Amino acid sequence: MHMILASASPRRKELLLKYNIKPIIVKANINEKAFSNEEPVQVAMSLAFQKAYEVASRFSNGEIVLGADTIVACEGKILGKPKDQYDGIRMIEFLNNKEHEVITGICLMKAGSNLKIIDYEKTIVKFRNLSHEKIKKYIETGEYMDKAGAYGIQGFGSLLIEYIHGCYFNVVGLPVSKLDFLLENYFDISLL
């Protein structure tokens, strides 16, 4: 099955391929800063909708478009992708020894129709109590780049984590169980 993925995320592409969906990657042209004053769940859903809407407007033959956006929120602050290694260190130090939320907004649209579904998944992640040296070593791996909250749970970032409550794949960037539920209930498509 083909699906248009309104994202350049290699992790989302990899997850979709794992479930036999061949994503056609079409990067959305949106201003991600425009929603930064909203609540974290609203930000994630708004960005997912904007991505899907912008990409779906380029198609008209019933293509299914998936927009997703993952954010990290802690103590009311939204952490995006770090600008550089110093920003990455600052983010990891802020999350150090704390629980935070990883929220992925999902929007599915059928191009050329009014069918659109918007939802989200939230996972609680708790970081270990990390030394400054450990944080620096993690940043030196380069894995922090292009990741909300400056870490990737699927790699060395797993060593920073004490526990998670909720969907692991949500922290990776795409809650596949929620995606399966939405596809099955609104598009009559199953990932199984």
**16 φ, ψ (degrees, to nearest 5):** -65, -45
Hey, which residues are catalytic here? 69
| Whether the Cβ atoms of residue 74 and residue 107 lie closer than 8 Å to each other | no
Closest C-alpha among 80, 89, 94 to residue 33: 80
